[in-house]
Amino acid sequence: MAFPFSIQNLPFSSALPRRNTTAYPSSLLTLPSNRSLLKIPRNAKNQEKSLAGALTCKAMVQQTAVQGATAAYAKEMERLSAKESLLLAFKDAGGFEALVTGNVTDMQRIDVNERIVSLERLNPIPRPTTSPYLEGQWNFKWFGDGSPGFFAAKLVFQTFPSTLATLSKLDVLIKDGYANITASLKFVNSIDSNFILSTRLSVEGPLRMKEEYVEGVFESPKLNEETIPEQLKGAFSQAVSTVEQLPGPIRDAVASGLKVPLGGRIQRLFMISYLDDEILIIRDIGGVPEVLTRLDPAPGTKEDQITDYES
Q: Which residue has the higher pLDDT, 156 or 136?
A: 136
| Whole-number pLDDT of residue 153 | 65
For the chain, the structural domain boundaries read 70-222+230-294
How high is the pLDDT of residue 138?
A: 96
Would the pLDDT of 200 be above 50?
yes
List, for residues 61-76, the tens digit of each pLDDT value.
666 666 667 888 899 9
Mean pLDDT of the chain: 75
* pLDDT tens-digit readout, 271-296: 999 999 999 999 999 899 999 999 99
DSSP the chain: ---S--GGGSTTGGGSPPP--PPPPHHHHSPPPHHHHTPPPHHHHHHHHHHHHHHHHHHHHHHHHHHHHHHHHHHHHHHHHHHHHHHHHHHHTTHHHHHHHT---HHHHHHHHHHHHHHHTT---S-GGG-GGGSEEEEEEE--TTSHHHHHHHHHHHHS-TTTEEEEEEEEEEETTEEEEEEEEEETTTEEEEEEEEEEEEE-SSSEEEEEEEEEEEPPPEE-GGGS-HHHHHHHHHHHHHHHTS-HHHHHHHHH-EEEE-TT-SEEEEEEEEE-SSEEEEEETT--EEEEEE-SPPPS--SPP------
Task: Quote the pLDDT of residue 43.
Answer: 60
pLDDT digits (tens, 9 = 90+) for 257-268: 677 788 878 888
Taking 50 as the threshold, does the pLDDT of residue 28 lie above it? Answer: no
CATH for 70-222+230-294 is 2.40.128.280
How much of the chain, in percent, has pLDDT values that exceed 70? 55
What torsion do the CA atoms of 169, 170, 175, 177 make, to the nearest 10 degrees? 170
Nearest 10 degrees: Cα torsion 160, 161, 164, 167 = 70
Residue 141 has pLDDT above 80, yes or no: yes
pTM, to two decimals:
0.67
pLDDT band at 217 (very low <50, low <70, confident <90, very high): confident
